[in-house]
Amino acid sequence: MFCFSVILPKPSISNTPAGELTWGQDVSITCSISTQHLGGTFTLQQTSGSFRKTQTSNTNSATFNIPQVNFNNEGLYQCQYQTRVSGREFSFPQSDSIRLSVTGKEE
C-alpha cells in the first residue's frame, strides 16, 4: 500500500465593493482557487453567524451575491473548496478571512 500526501492550496477571497458598506448596499464575494482540478463546490461561510451558501462551479471561481446588506451581514467570511478526483473527495483548506462592516442607513 502506498501513502502519499497532497498539498492543497487554500482559496482566495475578495469582496466588491471593498471597504465599508452602507446599509442596503449590494455586495459580491468572489472565491477562487488555483488548481487544475476544476468542477467542484465552493462554500461561503460567515464564521460568527448563520450565513452559509454553496455554489458549484466548472471554473476556478464562484461569486456569491448578498443583496441589501444589513447589520446581520457584518462579520468574518471564509471560503472552502471541495472537489472529487478519481472517486476521492478532497476538501481544500479554509481561505483567509475577510470582514464585512456595515454602516447605518443613509437618511
Task: Output the pLDDT for position 41.
Answer: 96
The answer to whether the bond into 17 is cis (omega within 30° of 0) is yes
Q: pLDDT tens, 2-50?
A: 555 667 899 999 999 998 999 999 999 999 999 887 889 999 999 988 8
Q: Which of 47, 48, 18 is nearest to 30 (CA)?
A: 18
Q: What are phi and psi of 73, to 5 degrees?
A: -85, -5
- What type of residue is 55? Q
Q: What is the 3-state secondary structure (H, E, C) of 43-77?
A: EEEECCCCCEEEEEECCCEEEEEECCCCHHHCEEE
Q: pTM of the prediction?
A: 0.88
Across the chain, mean pLDDT equals: 90
- Rounded to whole angstroms, the Cα distance separating 62 from 85 reads 19
Task: Output the pLDDT for position 8.
Answer: 85
Strand 27-32 with 12-16, pairing: antiparallel
Domains of the chain in start order, with CATH, are 12-101 (2.60.40.10)
